[in-house]
Structure 1
Amino acid sequence: MEKSNDVKYDDAQQAEILEDQEFEGIDEEEIVSLEGLVEELQSSNRKLLDENNKLENELSAMKERIVRITAEYDNFRKRTAKEKEGIYTDACEDVLKNMFPVLDNLERASNVNGSIEDIKKGIDMTIRQFNDSLSKLQVEEIPTDQGFDPNMHNAVMHIEDENFGEKAVVEVFQKGYKRGEKVLRYSMVKVAN
């Protein structure tokens, strides 16, 4: 009986032998080509890392800018609300300063002991003073003598009467007032035809 020179290898050893044979089968050109490919991939990787760092810096700068803009807007909103409240307070103050003298005279009139004529005269003077205060505030009465205007008047009654013209204001129940073109209170009127 002859002895066999064949050596038996296990699977792991067999795989290593095949890998070595494969590697030995690679020629020098392929190795140079693979080294070039590795260098190219490393260069591309460095460029991508640089670009990634640049984009992260830009993102960080944008986030910081958004935080700053948000804070500025919040401050602007708070400042605007405070200014708006101040303007309203100043406007009320101007109006009330003109109305206090009228109130003073009405209080004096209620404490007067006198004739009906004297009280009526005092009330007329107070009404004149009140109208002067409205004039200083550039508030004027809405006229009704030019006929009914739906932009200025509120018709609460309507009558048919041949003695009056088309859309004539027959009676004013409550005077209306405006400041410039802004209607503060519509005139409440009765309209004919």
Structure 2
Amino acid sequence: MSEGESQTVLSSGSDPKVESSSSAPGLTSVSPPVTSTTSAASPEEEEESEDESEILEESPCGRWQKRREEVNQRNVPGIDSAYLAMDTEEGVEVVWNEVQFSERKNYKLQEEKVRAVFDNLIQLEHLNIVKFHKYWADIKENKARVIFITEYMSSGSLKQFLKKTKKNHKTMNEKAWKRWCTQILSALSYLHSCDPPSSMGT
């Protein structure tokens, strides 16, 4: 399969991003502003962190390095597994996503459609849409998988963020809601303005 690639550098800003799914281009979810706290790690935590940082695999071009630490992508249909990875050119973390095909022939039957979907996703350029960087196929004797690299949003989706705030009995002010709505609408408007328009997942 031919490889698609983007030249866009990852955004490190705190604005929410719309996520586009591999199974439904333009499927949307939003990541909230990043907030984090740091504390001293115990020896056990440091050892676990080292294990998670272990490099399991590299992209064919050597730019992206898959690590052991998994990323929760349950809200994105079609993704079988996702891991943190390092972009060795930009020095930032990205997500290494994998879509598995049970048999090689199943992939071959859908290869043209898969290529069209990912070629379309890689062309998307918007501040509030999660960036797709590259994809490739890994075909073995009996199995196949498609691997694609996306921008890493450390806060997760808006749904995940709101669950956390609800659990902690916190509420978001009206200004935050207005900002998120404006950014979502901006991303949706962009997707519909594409030629051809990107369809929205349900």
Structure 2 length-normalised TM: 0.20
Query: Of the two, which has the highest radius of gyration?
Result: 1
